[in-house]
Each structure stands twice: as structure tokens, then as C-alpha cells.
Chains A and B, each alone.
Chain A
């Protein structure tokens, strides 16, 4: 999606451990240009809002039907008619707008949102996303807006831990979980590294608490350095 950056060595941050969840959120926030229209997925991506600097001019979209959503409502501000997509009570900022569901998803599918940040079970090197269903036979399928978000925004960022609790990589040559969208992810922000993914495969942009060589060792499939 983006112009190929000039060849550049991977930045290896070896004087520290992997990023915490909040550090990951801050890392994502740094890549959101001033004035962007952004949708933050339910769960971890919501943390990104806490790390957008004042005056960033970022307008948050919530797919249940609002632009310029404010922070979570505090006690005394809770309004049952005002929630985010995770059904958490939120607030409105000056300049907010409300719209119905078909408009909200037309806004998304129509490519009007600049960036969407999503969590994931797996992302493939080519940018396939799996984040809605584990595929377990007894799991009740529930997709919500995940598939619309995956294919709609101009750029899709994934924010996730790089490994499962069992140590299996979540950045994979091919997703084994049921797909949410094909070739839709642009960047993957993880605790150990930030990746560019897409037709050129997975490219490491920077690492945290691990060297490029050690990272390549722990992941399956080829990994390029920028």
C-alpha cells in the first residue's frame, strides 16, 4: 500500500525488553498522522486512544454510529444511549456526529477511514488476517464488524502479542485459523517487533528486546529486513 521506503537497517532496541501493552499502544499511536479518521477495534486497540497526544486532531470512529467519540464515560457521565462498539459507555467530543449503521459501515467499506487498528489471532506475511473465530468445533461463531473493518479502512494496523501463550508465532506464512480478510493488513505492531506485511512478504521495521537474527529464528518463513 505504501511506497517502498529506501533500504534502511532494522532498528534493534536491545537495551530493553519487549514492549508492554501500553508501550505497544503508544508505538501504534506514533504512526497515526495528525488529523486521521481512525477506528480502534475492541480490546487492546482501544488503548491507543490513551496515547494520542493532545492536539493530534485524530477523529475516532465507532462503528455503532459515531465520529469524534470521546473517552470512556466516568461515573456521573454514563448515558445508556452513548456507547462504543464494545458497548462500553463513552462520551462525545465537540464536533461529534451520529449516523445509522448502514452509513457507518458505508463509511468504512467505502474507504473513508484512514486507519483501523485491530487485534488478531494470526496475520500472514502477505497480510491475511484471522481475528474472528478460533475454528474450534464447539465455538459459537460471532463476527461483528471485524470483516468490514478488515477490508474497509485505507490502512489496517494489527496490534497483538507476537507469540501465543504456548510460544507459537502469530505472524505466520499462512493463517490456519478461519480468515477475516484476505491481503488486508499493512502493519503489525507486536511486543517484539514491528512488521510491514503485504505482497512483498514480512519485513521487520524494528525489534524490541530481541535481535533480528533471534527473531528470524523464532518465526516460521522468510523475514526480510528493510
Chain B
């Protein structure tokens, strides 16, 4: 299905249901789709499971979504940061569930979901508390841990440019989780700095092909 170029972030949040699993791109603020998260707050979906590398910074974006009590469970690699006070408080009050996943395993579980892989064995985490209760297998003399895909109902990602087909290019390290999350959700929404005409992106440079992308919206803050 072809991409919908949305007039604003609110239009891009249409139909996101309570209880959804929402993949949120970004590593710190790089690639963080702040305007989409703000729109999701306005949209009102609650009881969400959020999958993101971190658990919010400061009081805006993901932290604001958490603060509104919309997130029941978060799956991330590094929740604790110097400015993660919103998450820290909710966690200590027992108001949010946390699944900590090694960063590379998080990325690969998302990749597996997008690539139709049923599960995979990884040496990461073997023999550590994060492998407790997981199936393991010795492969080539090394212990591997069985890991399952993480599939999203929705992915909210930040990219640099989109064309009107939905092809995406990223900028520098803001690429981070965007390309894998774009493959791993039923509905993929990209916030971009610029939307260009079909043919204006170099096909050799497209990182996320249009097939993965459902909605694009230009960030209001983009100059």
C-alpha cells in the first residue's frame, strides 16, 4: 500500500489503539521522533508497551508519554540515565514494567521480526542474569541464548528525508534504530525534516525502502 503523506503529526497517529506495542526510534535525542510522541500523547492511546533503547530523557518526548501514565511496560537496553527521572520514579513506584534487553539483542530481535525469523541463538548474555529462564544451546563450543523477535503494532521513527513514495534517508548517527524498526511494525510512521518529490532521492542512497513505510510527516520544527 502506498504511503500516506500526513498534513501533521496528529493525522499520522490515527488508529493507534490502546494496548499497542509501539517501537520508538532514537538513541538519546538523535533520531528521536519527538513530534510523533507528542502527537501520540494528544491522541490518547494508553496501556502501551514501548520498545526503545532508553526510557526517556528529561520531561519531554518519551518521558512525557511515561509521565502521563500511558505506558504499562517498557522494553529497553538502558533505562537509567542522569536525566531519566520520570522513568525512575514510575519504576520505583511499581507503576511500570521493565524488560532490560542487551542493546544488540534488542536490535537483532527487531531485525528478526522484520525479516520473518522465528527466533535465533545469540552468545550475548549467556551465563548472565539476563539469560535466566531462557533456553540455551551449545553451538561450536559456545553457549548461545534463544531470543525471540519483537514485533510492533506501530513504529515511530525519525529520519532525515522522505520522498513521496516513502523512501527514507537518515543523517549520521540519527539512523540508529530507524531502519530496523521500520521493518518490524505493522504501521510505520516516519517524522522527517523534509519531504521531496519522487525521484529526488538517489536510489543508491535510500536506506529504508518505501515498502516498509506507511505514513510520513514533516516535522513542524523543521526550518
Contact = CB atoms under 8 A, between A and B. Distances in A.
B79 interface: yes
B130 A147 contact: yes
B164 interface: no
Interface string A58-102: 000011111000000000000111110001000010000011111
B108 A81 contact: no
B180 A87 contact: no
Given A64-B176, A100-B178, A102-B107, A147 B79 contact: no
B78 A144 contact: yes
A109 B143 CA distance: 14
Contacts of B94: none
A64 B103 CA distance: 10
A128 B132 CA distance: 17
A100 B177 contact: yes
Given A140-B79, A145-B102, A101 B176 contact: yes
A148 interface: yes
A100 B168 CA distance: 13
B78 A142 contact: yes
Interface stretch (A7-15, A159-167, A173-181, A185-193): A173-181
A147 B111 contact: no
B19 interface: no
A66 B173 contact: yes
Contacts of B123: 109, 151
A168 interface: no
A185 to B, nearest CB: 13
Contact of B77 (A79, A83, A143): A143
Contact of B80 (A83, A102, A140, A148): A140
A40 to B, nearest CB: 15
Contacts of A92: 172
Contacts of A83: 27-28, 30, 173
Contacts of B20: none
A166 to B, nearest CB: 23
A138 B88 CA distance: 11
What DSSP secondary structure best describes chain A's contact surface?
Answer: loop
A225 interface: no
B177 to A, nearest CB: 5
A179 B180 contact: no
B128 A179 contact: yes
A105 B180 contact: no
A121 B170 CA distance: 37
Contacts of A148: 102-105, 124
A83 B88 CA distance: 24
A64 B173 contact: yes
A65 B170 CA distance: 12
A85 to B, nearest CB: 8
B176 A142 contact: no
A143 B79 CA distance: 9
A109 B173 contact: no
A226 to B, nearest CB: 27
Contacts of B104: 63, 101-102, 104-106, 108-109, 145, 147-148, 152
A182 interface: yes
Interface string B77-102: 11111000000100110000010111
A146 B80 CA distance: 14
Interface of A: 62-66, 79-83, 87, 92, 98-102, 104-106, 108-109, 133, 138, 140-148, 151-152, 178-182
Given A80-B30, A82-B174, 16 more contacts: A63-B103, A65-B173, A81-B31, A83-B28, A83-B173, A87-B28, A100-B176, A102-B104, A102-B111, A109-B124, A138-B92, A142-B81, A143-B103, A148-B104, A181-B128, A182-B128
16 contacts: A64-B30, A66-B173, A79-B172, A82-B30, A83-B28, A99-B175, A100-B178, A100-B180, A101-B104, A101-B180, A102-B111, A108-B104, A109-B123, A141-B79, A147-B128, A182-B128
Which 7 pairs across A and B sit closest by C-beta, in order of nearness? A105-B104, A148-B104, A87-B28, A182-B127, A101-B107, A142-B80, A81-B174
